[in-house]
Amino acid sequence: MRIDIITVLPELLVSPFSHSIMKRAQEKGLLEVYTHNLRDTTPYKQGQVDDYQFGGGAGMVMMPEPLAIAIELLQKERNYDEVIFMTPDGAMFDQKTANNLSMKTNIIIICGHYKGIDERIRQHFVTREISIGDYVLSGGELAAAVVVDAIGRLIPGVLNDETSALFDSFQDGLLAPPVYTRPANFRGWEVPEQLLCGDPKKIDNWRHEQSLKRTAERRPGLLEE
Ligand code: ADE
């Protein structure tokens, strides 16, 4: 899978993809992430990419021309399945969307800044708008990093133990059960005996019960869905 991220702050997107699972995914050739500095392709002087909004009001708006040029340069090279705009008024990102996007081949992600991007780019280029939560970030970069991480780890072969993503919270519509490691007795706090019994069926049953209990307590809405 190839992901091209259009941004005015490519520096913000270096570290999130340079470590751990995202690093390994790229080393294995399963994921390619490229960042494109919008200022490199703007036709305006001094790297200008934003301007005052028509109708007045505080805050700058990202101009359509630099974004259109950046998107079209990429689209000339290959077909893209999605052009995603990160925005707090987009559809709420969830595991189902991550699963869906992990099966795409080429994706463009646009990171907004300031008051947002000119509406005509949203109308004519963007195929999907995503929010990572009901709060406003300074820009779309951190949101894009969240989305790429969530998608990247789902690409087959990225996780060492292929099954482990299957047991993530949300993957089956439930929160994950509690987990424990050594020692079995830590300061007198014992690991549940069911996990130590050695019977895979009993362990599975216990984990499923715990998932249901945790989901009912913390996210009852998930059970209704
Ligand atoms: N850009 C700013 N805030 C955002 C959010 N909550 N989700 C996605 N992109 C954003």
Q: Where are the domains of the chain?
A: 2-152, 167-224
| Alpha carbon nearest to ligand 1 atom 10, residue | 87
Lowest pLDDT segment from 78-87, 161-170, 216-225:
161-170
What is the Cα–Cα distance from 177 to 126, expressed in whole angstroms? 38
- Residue that has been written with the tokens 């091209």 in this structure: 4
- The pLDDT, as a whole number, for residue 163 is 61
Domain 2-152 part of CATH 3.40.640.10: no
Q: Is 134 in the pocket of ligand 1 (CB under 6 A)?
A: no
pLDDT at 162 over 80: no
Identify which of 7, 85, 132 to mutate to test ligand 1's pocket (most ligand atoms within 8 A of the CB): 132
Q: How far is the CA of 87 from the centre of ligand 1 (A)?
A: 4
Find the DSSP H helices in the chain: 20-27, 38-41, 64-77, 95-101, 119-124, 141-152, 200-218, 220-224
The residues that bridge with 36 in the sheet, in sequence order, are: 6
Q: How far is the CA of 122 from the centre of ligand 1 (A)?
A: 15
Equal CATH topology for 2-152 and 167-224: no
Name the token pair of 56. 């007045």
Lowest pLDDT segment from 35-39, 100-104, 131-135, 167-171:
167-171
Q: How far is the CA of 112 from the centre of ligand 1 (A)?
A: 8
31 confidence band (pLDDT: 50, 70, 90): very high
Q: What is the rounded average pLDDT of the residues 165-169?
A: 81
pLDDT at 161 over 80: no
Contacts of 174 (CB under 8 A, 6+ apart): 211, 212, 214, 215, 222, 223
Q: Is 135 in the pocket of ligand 1 (CB under 6 A)?
A: yes
Among 1.10.579.10, 1.10.1270.20, 3.30.565.10, 3.30.530.20, what is the CATH number of 167-224?
1.10.1270.20
Q: Is 3 helix (H, G, I), strand (E, B) or coil?
A: strand
- The pLDDT, as a whole number, for residue 177 is 95
Q: What is the rounded average pLDDT of the residues 13-36?
A: 97
pLDDT at 119 over 80: yes
pLDDT at 153 over 90: yes
Quick one: which atom of ligand 1 is closest to the CA of 130?
8
Q: What is the rounded average pLDDT of the residues 173-191?
A: 96
Q: Is 19 helix (H, G, I), strand (E, B) or coil?
A: coil
| Alpha carbon nearest to ligand 1 atom 2, residue | 137
66 confidence band (pLDDT: 50, 70, 90): very high
pLDDT at 224 over 70: yes
Q: How far is the CA of 102 from the centre of ligand 1 (A)?
A: 20
pTM: 0.95
What is the Cα–Cα distance from 127 to 144, expressed in whole angstroms? 15
Calculate the average pLDDT of the chain. 96
Q: How far is the CA of 75 from the centre of ligand 1 (A)?
A: 24
What is the Cα–Cα distance from 213 to 72, expressed in whole angstroms? 49
Determine how β-strand 106-111 pairs with β-strand 2-7: parallel
